[in-house]
Amino acid sequence: MRDFKYFQPTDIRFGSGKIVEVGAAVAKYGKRCLLVTVPVEPIFEALFDKVKASLKSAGVEVAHFDGIIPNPTTECITAGAEAAKQHNADVVLGVGGGSSMDSAKAIAVEATHPGTSWDYLYFRDSQPTEKTLPVIAVSTTSGTGSQVTQVAVVTNTKERDKSAIYNAIVYPKVAIVDPDLMLTIPEHITASTGFDAFAHAFESLLNPNASPYTDMMALEAIELLVKHLPRVVQDGSDREGRAALAWADTLAGLCIANAGVTLPHGIGMAIPGMYPHVMHGEALALNYPAFTRFTCPHAISQFVAVGRIFNPELREESDQAAAERMCEEVDQFLKEIGMWFGLADFDIPQAEIPDLAEQSMVLPDNGNNPRVATQDEMQELLEQCYRR
């Protein structure tokens, strides 16, 4: 048995209808709340009204900042931090996908510290302190696990860079995971966010910081995703499937908070950093076929375990054969959920691949892959991702 440590401070409230608990959860941490969301569209109106009513009945005064965009930028965070200061907020509530929950965390930092959120990235000397406002997270997608992580991803459009605050101070105090909130997610976003959760679970198995605890959760998450994601992509109203995906997403979030991700996430951050029209899950999906073949010989046991979840008949095959077949199983899974594409499908110029390769090496993710890519190998991997 390996030695390990495992930490998770978030109070998780999981289940259908749990959104009614949001007011009381927030009231435990403050009386003046900044609600952080994407713009109010008809699809979200009822949810935002319900959240505000719950806050009001718990005696919490709320200001609503609805300026978040997918792949949130430093500019949106600064506007949100201004709103927090104007409202004299003492707690921040993020309701939405990873973009809204991460923004709530970054706003909680920027509203209470000099400079901007970009000054507090994981590698900087200045780190957020206990002055950071408490954050409550309500997830409405099943993908990023942000409701249970210490990560807030932000995009700096001027620098064409995407990076993250990574500090235990931004762990949400409470995470509300109510699968009913996910019934409205459109097919493609279900697929893209679901594949992100798969990538979190699989990469945490590969990471040298993996533990028996994270392995157990990662394998459970993968089992749930393999079984339910294709079905829910076909039928978004499948309540049991939505609950399974929400739980898989939460498990995978607990895995990345403790083990971390690997090479695909280095690429998965670099692509939307340079081309913000690409979703995080899309950036992962387009590099998985090349990544699995590059990594497989260096992580046979993990590839075998996951291959046999995809296809129990692989129990009859040798470990070597089952591991190799796992790469094909992932290809098939991507096709089944409509996530089979290359860089060219997003109009990314092939001539920019060298810059993209350089950018994909910046985060520690590649360094945690069982096979660490050199810059030339990273470029070759990206060339393989160009066309499908």
3-state secondary structure of 376: helix
Restricted to residues 2-21, the positions that interact with ligand NAD (CB under 6 A) are: none
Q: How far is the CB of 93 from ligand NAD (least distance, A)?
A: 15
Q: Which residue has the tokens 């949400």?
A: 172
Rounded to whole angstroms, the Cα distance separating 76 from 81 reads 9
Binding mask 202-221 toward ligand NAD (x if CB under 6 A, else -) reads: --------------------
Cα–Cα nearest to 287, from 204, 196, 371, 375: 196
* Residue 25 vs 153, nearer CB to ligand NAD: 153
Q: How far is the CB of 15 from ligand NAD (least distance, A)?
A: 16
* Residue 26 vs 47, nearer CB to ligand NAD: 47
- Any contact of residue 99 with ligand NAD (CB under 6 A)? yes
The count of residues interacting with ligand NAD (CB under 6 A) is 29
- Any contact of residue 38 with ligand NAD (CB under 6 A)? yes
Q: Find the helix or strand (DSSP H, E) in which 130 lies.
A: none
Binding mask 125-154 toward ligand NAD (x if CB under 6 A, else -) reads: ---------------xx-xxxx--x-xxx-
Rounded to whole angstroms, the Cα distance separating 260 from 200 reads 8
Q: How far is the CB of 332 from ligand NAD (least distance, A)?
A: 23
Residues shown for the chain = 388
**Cβ(368)–Cβ(261) under 8 Å?**
yes
Q: How far is the CB of 192 from ligand NAD (least distance, A)?
A: 7
Exposed e or buried b for every residue in 82-98, given b needs 16+ CB within 10 A? ebbeebebbbbbbbbbb
Rounded to whole angstroms, the Cα distance separating 82 from 66 reads 13
- Any contact of residue 53 with ligand NAD (CB under 6 A)? no
Tokens read off for 268: 């998965």
Tokens read off for 11: 């109070």
**Cβ(46)–Cβ(103) under 8 Å?**
no
Q: Which of 31, 61, 66, 70 binds ligand NAD (CB under 6 A)?
A: 70
Positions that interact with ligand NAD (CB under 6 A): 38, 43, 70-71, 96-100, 102, 140-141, 143-146, 149, 151-153, 181-182, 184-185, 189, 193, 196, 280-281
